[in-house]
A and B are shown apart, each in its own frame.
Chain A
Amino acid sequence: MGSVKIIFLLSAGIALVSAAAAQPKVVISARQLGMKQVGKSFKTINDQVRSGSPEAAVVKASASQLAALAAKVPSWFPAGTGPDTGIKTAAKAEIWTRAANFRAKAAAFAAATRNLAAAAAKTSDPGVLEPQIRRVGGTCKSCHTAFKLQS
């Protein structure tokens, strides 16, 4: 677990540095695309599990994709890519002014998706996956409520 964590932190750090060097506009649109991918993979899992007869392979693949994306979330928010850039973004300035809280929420999201991926690797039983899915949904919502501008 320790080495996984280090690799995770390292890759997140590298992504952060490279993203900060890029244009805010590029970072923001990449972030929006990334979040859409998150929504897509989570929807695929939800559609499968709610269908009553989920395809185990699809659920497993989407859940591991979701966990991989979730791990990247902190790297999508380098300093200087907030609302003060003047570029249209739903990211609130609080992401950077309350950075520790934001990172904690992103970490909770990543952890929930890892648990879901671990469960989906073993089973596609809705009874097992549904509580995990609800936990992931809860971490999405809690972070969005605090740090995303609601339309």
Chain B
Amino acid sequence: MAGAIRIWDLPTRLVHWGMALLIPFSWWTAENGQMDRHRLSGYLLLGLLLFRLIWGFWGSAPSRFRAFVKGPFSVWRYVRSEGAREIPGHNPLGGWSVVAMLGMLSLQVGLGLFSVDEEGFESGPLSHLLEFNSGRTVAAVHEKLFWLLVALIALHIAAILWYLLIRRKNLVAAMITGRMHPAEPVEQPRIAPAWRAVLAILIAAAAVWFVAGGLSF
């Protein structure tokens, strides 16, 4: 076994665990009618999503979309070889799992912004752009779509368990420590400097502020 390399930078890990906490929290607050907290959770998730989007272009090499969003032929080759070759970071199939989860979460958060509750009282920050009935339809889709997101997350967790139990590879540890031990020596991926994360956080936070205020300052 070769030496450890840094694979997941701190921002990527914080985004991951932030989402892992906030998605169940969003569900729980909605179930219990705590809509102030639900809205806050949605704003935080929106911030994490926007940050992750920026980080997909500015982040450390393994966190960039370029590194893990591959064409169908790469995915097919990878599946055919049953993942024989170890790929540090997301493999071509897992990359699409990440894209699917981020896409579904974006859709979910986006719908939440326009949702209106049955009383016309609690609502997303952009719901004033829709009339009552449309806002109610959006809210109904928002409620149903959550279970599709849960299905994608279940698949994600099943894949991690498969790696842990069948392949004897602990992917969770890498997402906590940021380090992995590749079977064969690989080059240390380039890690992004902290200032870029700070800039990305500022941009994401400003965008959330703008949206939360109903598209006005």
Contact = CB atoms under 8 A, between A and B. Distances in A.
Interface stretch (B90-98, B117-125, B154-162): B117-125
A43 B123 contact: yes
Interface of B: 33, 116, 118-123, 127-128, 131-133, 135-136, 143, 214, 216
B119 A137 contact: yes
Contacts of B118: 35, 39, 144, 148
A42 B120 CA distance: 6
Interface in A11-52: 35-36, 38-44, 46-47, 50-52
Contact of A38 (B120, B128, B136, B214): B120
Nearest to A137: B121
Interface string A41-80: 1111011001110000000000000000000000000000
Contacts of B216: 52
A97 interface: no
A141 interface: yes
- For the side of the interface on A, what is the size category? 20 to 34
16 contacts: A36-B133, A38-B119, A39-B116, A39-B118, A39-B120, A39-B136, A42-B121, A43-B123, A43-B131, A46-B120, A46-B121, A52-B216, A137-B121, A141-B33, A141-B119, A145-B33
A151 interface: yes
Contacts of A151: 143
Contacts of A148: 118
A111 interface: no
B65 to A, nearest CB: 36
A47 B119 contact: no
A119 interface: no
